[in-house]
């Protein structure tokens, strides 16, 4: 099965980012394909390299960066949502790129299922 993932909540606010991350890892471990991950609304905050959590906490942006690079997954950050939150190419995690909502439409077409995390 080919999954597309849409993340709409920011890190450390709700469980959406953690749930999406665990879902994506489990899907890959079971041999499924992740067609792409689209970060939208507050979900774009998962992709900032400016995040510096305490040492005893999980580093959400780093683990997303590591995951997409390790698995060759297209991680797309909504340009409008990113601009509203001060996220640019200069402070984006490695492995992610900024693009428009058209990419979300393409992801929905490419994937067998589009799974949404967050509001």
> Which residues belong to the active site?
78
DSSP symbol at 76: E
Residue 1 Cα distances to 28, 68, 101, 119, angstroms:
10, 18, 23, 24
Q: How far is it, in rounded angstroms, from Cα 25 to Cα 3?
A: 12
């Amino acid at each position: 099965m080919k999954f597309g993932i849409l993340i709409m909540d920011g890190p450390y606010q709700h469980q959406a980012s953690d749930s999406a991350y665990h879902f994506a890892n489990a899907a890959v471990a079971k041999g499924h394909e992740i067609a792409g991950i689209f970060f939208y609304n507050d979900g774009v905050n998962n992709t900032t390299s400016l995040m510096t959590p305490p040492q005893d906490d999980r580093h959400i942006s780093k683990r997303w960066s590591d995951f997409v690079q390790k698995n060759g997954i297209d991680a797309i950050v909504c340009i409008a949502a990113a601009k509203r939150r001060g996220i640019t190419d200069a402070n984006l995690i490695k492995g992610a790129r900024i693009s428009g909502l058209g990419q979300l439409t393409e992801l929905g077409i490419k994937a067998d299922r589009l799974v949404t995390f967050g509001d």
